[in-house]
Amino acid sequence: MTRNDGRLNFNLLDEDPLPQDECGVFGVWAPGEEVSKLAYYGLYALQHRGQESAGIAASDGKSIRVYKDLGLVSQVFDESTLNSLTGHIAVGHCRYSTTGASQWSNAQPTLGDTPHGTVALGHNGNLTNSADLRDRIIERHGRADFGELNQGNTTDTALVTALLKEQPGDSLEDQAMALLPTLEGAFCLVFMNENTLYAARDPHGVRPLVLGRLASGWVVASEQSALATVGASVIREIEPGELIAIDSDGVRSHRFAAATPSRCVFEYVYLARPDANINGRSVYESRVEMGRQLAREDTHDADIVIPVPESGTPAAVGYAEASGLPFAQGFIKNAYVGRTFIEPSQTLRQLGIRLKLNVQDHVVRGKRVVVVDDSIVRGNTQRAIVRMLKEAGAAEIHVKISSPPVKWPCFYGIDFASRAELIANGATMDEITQAVGADSLAYISEDGMIAATAQPRSTLCTACFSGVYPIKLPPESRRGKMLLETPAESADSQNAGGGCDPGPDAEFELDEIPLAEAKK
């Protein structure tokens, strides 16, 4: 269920953030329509993919106007702002930072000039050769500070926008075809000049990107939910290694690289909305099947199965079905508590998860409870959930996780905790179980998770679980979220809690046992 601010889920503990996808992208070409409002509603449906900033650029065929700011889509835009973004083409973006700090100058779409008009560009994913792209700009100009780079933008998206200007070609289309083969990593790009909308997907197809049809035009978006929200029918996915162009001449498709699929399996586990469909497979059905498979692999004698809402619900449905145990709603989530800009007092901070989630005591009291969630990152959320269930009188608590242990960082567009903070990194199953306080703990196997997606193993990226990275990584000194920041900017961003390293959990969990202590 979509929350009132457009997000499917929020962090149950602010100090234990969920894995975050970098961005959602949306583009529309529709003469005669209010394209900025279509982009607004499309981004609203994609809000779960990025909640730090939002922006929309629109063109009337003569000029491009852009408005962007920090905040949720509903906070950034109002009626008057959208009415000022007139035209027949629009590009929209909602961001969570995986390259560059969370600051206004890094909001998208980015703007740049080219010999073939102004370009506005939004990007979902993460390039792995950003250092090389920056070096290419420095070699040509002796510096790396023109365009939005000169205005403080420190994202790989700004590098792409700047490099488009440098490419040979008689059109922006030709320039894109020259640049795209040189980009490495994960990228879904939606961009435009004054008259044409473009969309491109990296050869590995790491992140999803779909094409839809309106009665009066065309739409491209990260997920089908955005198409459904604006009344567009799904035509197909943009293929890995494909560039499409949309204008008054229709839709044109170009192949800039051969497809070598490595789709992100975590899209099926958690990132995408349940109503998404990726490579012909329903995300919801994949998650239900993960729950079924989890029950086949590890079933406990218990009285009820409950989910951690909302992302654990489909897997809990599947677990209950396969185990024969009754499904129950053991938690009630407050849909009106999300990100807050009011600093809580120490008393409220100690309440933590209770501000957002409450146990139904009469459902769990005296029961042996199986509680199903999609993943464990640091483990603090699960520890708080187990504690709440115990206080509510649950007799036993068996935690079941519908993905394997997360042990490795992602370099393709998901912001996990650092590897040192991942609870499954270097800890045994018994140690993790003791740390979260459960009577038992089980993860689905990697084979079981992959089988649930109905995708060939060779076409999926499982790096965060397996440590096997399908796209070559640069040396450690030439990668990282703050790669393009100056040293001072990087330090300031980290001190401000810029998204990649939220800091220790000790302030919230004053009475918790650290994992290091649990190992003793």
Q: So which residues are the catalytic ones?
A: 23
202 in a known ligand binding site: no
374 is in an annotated binding site: yes
Q: Rounded to an integer, what distance in angstroms lies between the CA atom of residue 282 and that of residue 276?
A: 6
What residues contact 111, with CB distance under 8 A and at least 6 apart? 57, 64, 66, 118, 119, 120, 147, 148, 161
264 is in an annotated binding site: yes
Burial class (CB in 10 A: 0-12, 13-18, 19+), 335: middle
Residue 320 and residue 325: Cα distance in Å, rounded? 5
For the CA atoms of 227, 209, 374, 401, what is the dihedral angle to 10 degrees? 140
Burial of 142 (0-12, 13-18, 19+ CB in 10 A): exposed
CB atoms within 10 A of CB 4: 9
**Is 311 flagged in the annotation as binding?**
yes
Q: How far apart are CA 87 and CA 105, in angstroms?
A: 24
Q: Is 94 annotated as a binding residue?
A: no
Greatest CA separation for the chain: 73
126 three-state secondary structure: strand
Indicate the residue type of 59: S
Annotated binding site: 264, 311, 373-374, 410, 461, 464
Annotated binding site for Mg(2+): 311, 373-374
